[in-house]
Amino acid sequence: MESLSSPNGHKGLDALPRRENGLARFLRLIRFSHTIFALPFALGALLVATRGRPPARLLVLVLLCMVCARTAAMLFNRIVDWSLDRRNPRTAMRHELISRPAAVLLLVLSALAFVAAAGAINRLTLMLAPLALGIIFFYSLTKRFTAASHFFLGLALAIAPAGAWIAATGRLALPPLLLGVGVVGWVAGFDLIYATQDFEFDRSEALYSLVVRLGIARALRLAQWLHLGMFAALIAFGFVASLGVIYFCGMPLVAAALFYEHRSAARLNLAGINRAFFQSNAFVSAVFLVSVIAALA
C-alpha cells in the first residue's frame, strides 16, 4: 500500500472547532503542544551542564528562548508554505487560523524576543542567536530542493540541547553533541512516519520527499534504523555525562514507546499514526527528562 486517506474528509486534521478563541487558534496554528517534544532535551542538557542546579534566571531565559524560537520557526513555516498548505487536504484549513499579515508580525516579534532572551544569557548565545534562527528557518525551504528535509528538521531541533549547554557553560562539549545526534535521528525518524500522510500530495506537487523517493515501506524501515541510532545516542549520552544506573533504568521505556510508534505506523492508519506520533514522542521526551532528573537528584 502506498497511500493513506484521512477519515475526516477533505478538512483533514486542521479542521476548526466551533467557537475556538483567538489564542486557541494561534496555539493550534503553531502546534504549541508539540513544544514538549524538544523542550525536555534542552532542559536535560541544561540540568546536566549545571549538575541539576540551574540558576532560576538562566532556566527562565532558556525556556523563553525555546518557546520564542519554536514559535518563530512554526510561523515562518506557515508563511512560506501558505499556498501549499491550502492545496493539501490535510492542512487546507490552516490559513483560516490567522491572516498572513498577522503571522508575519508575530514572526518578527517572536524572533526579536528570542534574540533578546539569548542576549540576556551571555555574549556567545547572543552571537549565535541569528545563526540558530537561520537554521530553523532554513528547514522550511528544504522540501523544495532536497529529499533530506527530515534531517534538516532534526538539525533544527538538535540546536535546543546544544544551545542550552552553551547557555550554561559558554562552550560546547561532547554530551550535548551526542544528545544532538540522537535528536536528529529521533526527529528525522518520526517525521518520516508523519510524512507518509502526505505521500500522494507530495508526489502530485513534485515536492522533494524521501517517502516518495523510497516508497512508504522503505521509508518506515529507515525510520526504524534512525530510531535505533537515537536510542544508541541516548545510551552514549548517559555514559559520557556520567548519569549512572538510574538514568539507564528509563531507557527500556524509551525503547517501548518507539516500538509502539513503529507498530502503529506499520498499520498505515492515519488516525493511528497521529495518535502514536503524539503519545509516543511526548512519552520519549518526558521519560528522558525524568531519567536525567532522577539521576542528578
How far apart are the two ends of the chain, measured CA to CA in Å?
48
**What are 76-83's contacts with CB under 8 Å, separation 24+?**
76/107, 76/136, 76/137, 76/140, 77/139, 77/140, 78/29, 78/30, 78/103, 79/103, 79/104, 79/107, 80/140, 80/141, 81/140
> For 195-205, what is each residue's pLDDT tens digit?
887 788 778 77
Grid cell for residue 29: 496554528
pLDDT, residue 212, reads: 86
Total residues belonging to the chain: 297
> For 71-129, what is each residue's pLDDT tens digit?
899 889 888 887 777 777 666 666 666 778 888 998 999 999 999 999 999 999 999 99
- In one letter, which amino acid is 38? A
The backbone torsions φ and ψ at residue 276, rounded to the nearest 5 degrees and listed phi first, read: -65, -35
Q: What is the pLDDT along the chain (297 residues), one digit of tens a residue?
A: 333 333 333 344 444 444 565 555 555 655 655 566 778 999 999 999 999 999 999 999 999 999 899 889 988 988 888 777 777 766 666 666 677 888 899 899 999 999 999 999 999 999 999 999 999 999 989 988 888 999 999 999 999 999 999 999 999 999 999 999 999 999 999 889 888 877 887 787 777 788 888 988 899 999 999 999 999 999 999 999 999 999 999 999 999 999 988 887 777 666 666 666 677 888 999 999 999 999 998
CATH class as words, domain 17-296: mainly alpha
Instruction: Give CA–CA dist 297/19, Å, rounded.
Output: 45
Please name the residues in contact with 47: beta carbons below 8 A apart, sequence gap of 6 or more: 54, 292, 293, 296
